[in-house]
Amino acid sequence: MRIALFAAFPQEVRCIVRELRPLVRSSHPFLWRTAKHLSLEIDLVQTGMGTLRAQAALHHLLARKMPDLVVSTGFCGALYQNATPGDLIRGTRVLLCHEEQGRAILPEGRQLSLDHGSAPRNADRWDGIRDMTGGYIITLQKRMRKEALKRILTADMTFPVCDMETFPLALLSLQRGIPFLALRAVTDLHHEDILEAFFGTADGSGSYRTVRAVRLLLLRPGLIPSALRLGRASSLAAKSLWRGLHTVIETLS
């Protein structure tokens, strides 16, 4: 069985890389690693940030091989109260959100249900994974403030979170008849917005650049406390992602 994991940034997959020790297969146009674990062949693709990058990365992989399961993984922002960094959310529905005149809009028909009909055999066992909660993933086409997003939430949206990659990965996978899983870990809480300056650590392609991050903190040392808080939350989230993915991998092996 072949699993394809897609994540935007290296911080999101650092525990996965440490545990699976994948080999780099290609670095252009996307960093693509492969690993074997028990009976599974695993592709790990680093997409860079945003819906267009995520969609292009999956097209790139599908032109070369057909996975038995596509997984959107990485960090997310909580839109529900009482969240804690590291909370693990398995997407039950994915919605695409865009902005019109400063307002968050959920277009008609831009909602996907990720029930067990879109999952591989034995996926019902994922419901019992400790500390994994089913929830709504709202994928943004551009960065938006949490206050704008919370205005569009409805009572039926359980454990809503936001990201910038999941919807196109889910849509293309389901169109191709490929089972799909979205697994995201919380870094920022419902009342927190990641500072705009931190998005400058990604280049024009949406890929994270360490040199940009270092330069930012050297030029703006006042951002260091916020960077440290985000770093601690990211570390907890990365560990949660590996625990959840490891259970999924063991279930499918």
Beta carbons of 19 and 246 less than 8 angstroms apart: yes
Residue 125's pLDDT is 57
Q: Which two three-digit tokens encode residue 47?
A: 């997409």
Q: Please give the C-alpha separations between residue 165 and each of 15, 74, 101, 126, in angstroms, as whole numbers.
A: 20, 9, 22, 22
3-state secondary structure of 114: coil
Residue 253's pLDDT is 80
The pLDDT tens digits along the chain (253 residues) read 999 999 999 999 999 999 999 999 998 899 999 999 988 999 999 999 999 999 999 999 999 999 999 999 999 999 999 999 999 999 999 999 988 877 899 887 788 988 755 666 555 555 556 678 999 999 999 999 999 999 999 999 999 999 999 999 999 999 999 999 999 999 999 999 988 888 888 787 677 888 888 898 898 989 899 889 999 999 999 999 999 999 888 888 8
For 2-252, CATH number out of 3.30.70.120, 3.20.20.60, 3.20.10.10, 3.40.50.1580 equals 3.40.50.1580
CA end-to-end distance (rounded Å), the chain? 8
Q: What are phi and psi of 72, to 5 degrees?
A: -90, 120
- The burial of 76, by beta-carbon neighbours within 10 Å (0-12 exposed, 13-18 middle, 19 or more buried), is given as buried
CB neighbours of residue 66 within 10 Å: 11
**Total count of residues recorded for the chain:** 253
Residue 120's pLDDT is 61
The DSSP 8-state label assigned to residue 202 in this structure reads B
Q: Which two three-digit tokens encode residue 214?
A: 């270092």
Nearest to 208 by CA among 9, 37, 24: 9
Q: What is the pTM of this model?
A: 0.91
Q: Which two three-digit tokens encode residue 131?
A: 């500390």
CA atoms of 147 and 128, how far apart (whole Å): 32
Segments of 101-233 assigned E as strands:
103-105, 111-113, 132-140, 161-163, 180-188
The DSSP 8-state label assigned to residue 205 in this structure reads T
Residue 84's pLDDT is 96
Beta carbons of 46 and 10 less than 8 angstroms apart: yes
Side chain identity at residue 237, one-letter code: A
Ordered by start, the domain boundaries in the chain are 2-252
Residue 63's pLDDT is 96
Residue 153's pLDDT is 94
Residue 109's pLDDT is 77
Matching residue, tokens 């191709």 = 176
